[in-house]
Amino acid sequence: MVQNILVYIIVFSAFAYMVYSIVKSLRSKGASGGCAGCSGCDLKNMAGAKACHSPVKQVSKSHSCCS
């Protein structure tokens, strides 16, 4: 009985974290055009946030935050 309760708690926690992560991801990308929350973006680090919104973007596909 205790094992079943622990399994339910773990499964519920994993599901809740998944929903939280999805909502957080959608909110941060929608708020500023896809550059929010990306600390490792070379384009953002070199040229600032304005570069992520320019019409010409040449960023490798490994940096999905600015593409």
Domain ranges of the chain: 2-53
The average pLDDT across 37-53 equals 60
pTM listed for this prediction: 0.44
Is a pLDDT exceeding 60 seen at residue 2? yes
CA angle 28, 64, 52 (to 5 degrees): 70
**27 pLDDT tier (thresholds 50, 70, 90):** confident
